[in-house]
Amino acid sequence: MGFSQDVPPEVIDRDRSVRKQSDARSEALDQVREGVASGSPEVVLDFLGDASGMVRDAVFSRLRKFSGEELEQVVKAWSRHPMRKAAPETRDLIESGLAEALVHQPRPAAADWLLTVASSKKSGQASRELSLAALAQLPQGSLDKKTLRTLIRLADKESAWWIRGEALLALSRLDPEAAEKSVSRAWNEKRLWPMRLISLQAQVHLDSAVAIERATILLAEEIRDRQGVWDGRIERAALQLLGEEVSKLPRAERVETIESLISRAMDAEDESWHPEIPVLRKLTGVDLSTRRITAWDSWWNSRKKQWLAGEKPTSEKGESADEEGKTRVVEYHGVPIDSKRIVFVSDVSGGMSRTLDGEFDGSGPRRLEVARKELLRVLGELPAESLVQVMFFASLRIPVLPSPQLLARCHKVLKKRISEQGVPQGRGEARGNLYGPLRAAVMEPGIDTVILLTEGAATEGRIHDGDRLCWHVERWNRWSRVRVHVLSVGRLSGGNRAFLEKLAVGNGGEFHDIDDRLGKIETGDRY
Residues 6+ apart with CB under 8 A from 515: 488, 489, 490, 491
pLDDT for 291-346, tens place per residue? 889 999 999 999 999 999 988 766 665 444 434 444 568 999 989 999 999 999 99
Determine how β-strand 341-347 pairs with β-strand 387-393: parallel
- Least trusted range by pLDDT, from 21-25, 94-98, 174-178, 517-521: 517-521
CA 503 remoteness from chain centre: 8
- Is the pLDDT reported for residue 203 higher than 80? yes
- pLDDT tier for residue 222 given thresholds of 50, 70 and 90: confident
pLDDT digits (tens, 9 = 90+) for 298-313: 999 999 999 999 887 6
Neighbours of 269 (CB within 10 A): 11
pLDDT at 5: 47
Round to whole Å and give the CA distance between 162 and 48. Answer: 24
Average pLDDT of the segment spanning 150-175: 96
Residues contacting 234, CB < 8 A, separation 6+: 193, 196, 197, 218, 223
- The tens digit of pLDDT for each residue in 29-42 reads 999 999 999 999 99
378 vs 223 pLDDT, higher one:
378
Residue type, 161: W
Confidence tier at 90 by pLDDT (50, 70, 90): very high
Amino acid code (one letter) for 491: R
From residue 404, alpha-carbon distances to 159, 235, 243, 341 in Å are 25, 19, 29, 8
What pLDDT is recorded for position 317? 56
Q: What is the pLDDT of residue 190?
A: 79
Report residue 525's pLDDT band, with 50, 70 and 90 as the boundaries: low
Q: What's the confidence (pLDDT) of residue 379?
A: 97
pLDDT tens for 44-71 read: 999 999 999 999 999 999 999 999 999 9
Can you give the pLDDT at residue 10? Answer: 85
Report the C-alpha gap between 273 and 282 in whole angstroms: 17
Is pTM, for the whole model, over 0.85?
yes
Contacts for 518 with CB less than 8 Å, ≥ 6 apart: 333, 356, 367, 370, 371, 489
> Does position 383 have pLDDT exceeding 60, yes or no?
yes
**Would you kindly state where each structural domain of the chain is located, as residue ranges?**
1-138, 207-271+273-328, 331-523
Q: What local confidence, expressed as pLDDT, does residue 4 receive? A: 45
Q: Which fold has domain 331-523?
A: Rossmann fold (3.40.50)
- Mean pLDDT within 437-460: 95
Q: How confident is the model at residue 523 (pLDDT cuts 50, 70, 90)?
A: low
